[in-house]
A = this chain, B = another copy of it.
Amino acid sequence: MTRVLVVDDEPQIVRTLRINLTARGYEVATALSGEEALRVAASFRPEVVILDLGLPDIDGVTVIDGLRGWTGAPIIVLSARSDSGDKVAALDAGADDYVTKPFGMDELLARLRAAVRRASAVPAGEEAVVETAAFTVDLAAKKVRRGGAEVHLTPTEWGILELLVRNRGKLVGQKQLLREVWGPAYASETHYLRVYLAQLRRKLEPHPARPAHLVTEPGMGYRFEV
């Protein structure tokens, strides 16, 4: 059950891909914009991404950058334009393959298989380490170090930190945090967040009272700053 994220602003293409991929045993998530793609990717954790470059909100290369910040999953770019300039830019940004529309479904599927094969041929090829002035987070090993010594986190603490780090620099709403860490039924238990954010700060921040990396956005949510 390989997880594939399909990003395209044309609902028709998204639908076609979803049907074809699902029929072949892939687990599919979709997004219609770049912003949505980055949000969905953080929780869905795709093993492959199929990404249309012509998105309405964000530039395609920016989306690639956002993904490459924390995942090594192969990215297959779709594009209507066959400009070689676009191809070069996308590939150099970190994309793995480039297919011009219109494309044959069997070709896309073959390229998908090739991409998955490459990725899985390499066990543990993930270099997902995020470093701040005070501590380092290893997303693959689920480890946190602070000044040489390893810091132990509970499952809940790690769940929060992981979600924030995967969306580093971006604001994560409290409802989203609660939904993804505790489950949909806990979407209004904002008190949990206060307790656990305090614990995380006590373990990670040099001055827990004046946090530099685990920042509160009053009334909205939290943000991880590097």
- Let me know if A180 is at the binding interface, CB within 8 A: no
Task: Kindly list the 3 A-B residue pairs having the minimum CB-CB distance in the complex, ordered from nearest.
Answer: A91-B110, A155-B219, A84-B104
In the complex, A72→B106 CA distance in Å?
24
- A84/B107 in contact, CB under 8 A: yes
For residue A87, CB closer than 8 A to chain B, the reply is yes
The answer to whether B104 and A91 have CB atoms under 8 Å apart is no
Interface string of A67-107 (1 = CB under 8 A from B): 00000101000000000110110011011111000001011
> In the complex the two chains form, is B142's CB within 8 Å of A220's CB?
yes
101-129 of chain A: CB within 8 A of chain B: 104, 106-107, 109-111, 113-114, 117-118, 121-125, 127
Give me the interface of A with B, judged by CB distance under 8 Å: 72, 74, 84-85, 87-88, 91-92, 94-98, 104, 106-107, 109-111, 113-114, 117-118, 121-125, 127, 140-143, 154-155, 158, 166-167, 169-171, 217-220, 223
Instruction: Return the contact of A110 from the options B88, B107, B127, B140 (Cβ within 8 A).
Output: B88
A94: chain B residues within 8 A (beta carbon): 117
Q: Name A173's closest neighbour in chain B (CB-CB).
A: B142
Min Cβ gap A218→B in Å is 7
Chain B residues near A155: list those with CB within 8 A: 218-220
Given A154-B218, A220-B155, check contact A111 B125 (CB 8 Å).
Answer: no
How far, in Å, is A212 (CB) from chain B's closest CB? 13
